[in-house]
Amino acid sequence: MILASNPMFCFQPFQEIMGSLEPLFEGWEFLAEYEHGWHHREYIKDVLSTSDLYVQVHAPFNDINIASMNPDIKKASVHEIEKAMDLAVSIDADMVTVHPGLYSPIGKTWAGAMEAQLSSLKDISALGRERGISVALENMPAPYPTMGIEPGEMKNMLETSGLDFCLDVGHGFTSGKLDDFLRMKPVNVHLHDNQGYKDLHLPLGEGDIDFPAVLNELKGYRGNWVIEGRSLEGLALSKEYLEALLSTL
């Protein structure tokens, strides 16, 4: 199934975005923040009850750091992700995408950064198992101060925590290690394009990613394709591009 995603949609009413997506897409991975967050859960549940649109949840990532040096911030960040899981359960969504933690300004010099990260990921994994949902950790783009840019680091986090893997193809391309990420058996795939040096979220085919080769490498993949874009028009163009490629496999 091909899904749409744009984090900026969270600034508009849920029903408005849903109405725009329904004629174009079978599903939507929405960011559980602001208008689409925990505090609007009853409204979101009511809106979705009138639609056949399939949904997945992307956990919040603004103002959140599950690898924080501050234990209170770390605990609160995990709790915000837990609320996103509860939102998912309430609307019968079975997939939640999660971002790794960030290196705070002096976090790169703190020996406990990865320990804090792994502790949070283990807690998040346990919370997902309790709820019977898949929680997928997403690889991050270079050169930002985030964890999960390198394949080896991602493998360690996944193996230690037991979380599933969300492959972000655009992010993997910025790291220069996309081929390694493609071999890591994702349960969810994010698609967008760039030129290899910045996370631009271009429509598919407008950057330098070799998507025919990517899809060929993922030929056995059976999960959803989540197109991430900056506009409804860009998402629609990417969907046409993807459908044409998938028809050739």
CA–CA distance, 213 with 146 (Å, rounded to integer): 27
Q: Is the pLDDT of residue 109 over 80?
A: no
Q: How far apart are CA 114 and CA 108, in angstroms?
A: 10
Q: Are 235 and 30 in contact, with CB atoms under 8 Å apart?
A: no
What one-character DSSP code corresponds to residue 198? S
Architecture of domain 2-246: Alpha-Beta Barrel (3.20)
Q: What is the pLDDT of residue 160?
A: 98
Above 80 in pLDDT, residue 162? Answer: yes
In this structure, which long-range contacts are made by residues 210-215, counting pairs with CB atoms below 8 Å and at least 24 apart in sequence? Answer: 211/169, 211/241, 211/242, 211/245, 212/245, 212/248, 214/169, 214/178, 214/182, 215/245, 215/246, 215/249
Q: What is the pLDDT of residue 104?
A: 83
CB 214 within 8 Å of CB 182: yes
- The answer, as to whether pTM is greater than 0.85, is yes
- Please, which pLDDT band fits residue 110 given cuts at 50, 70 and 90? confident
Neighbours of 204 (CB within 10 A): 25
pLDDT over 90 (residue 188): yes
CA-nearest of 155, 143, 84, 77 to 116 is 77
How confident is the model over 12-38, as pLDDT tens digits?
999 999 999 999 999 999 999 999 999
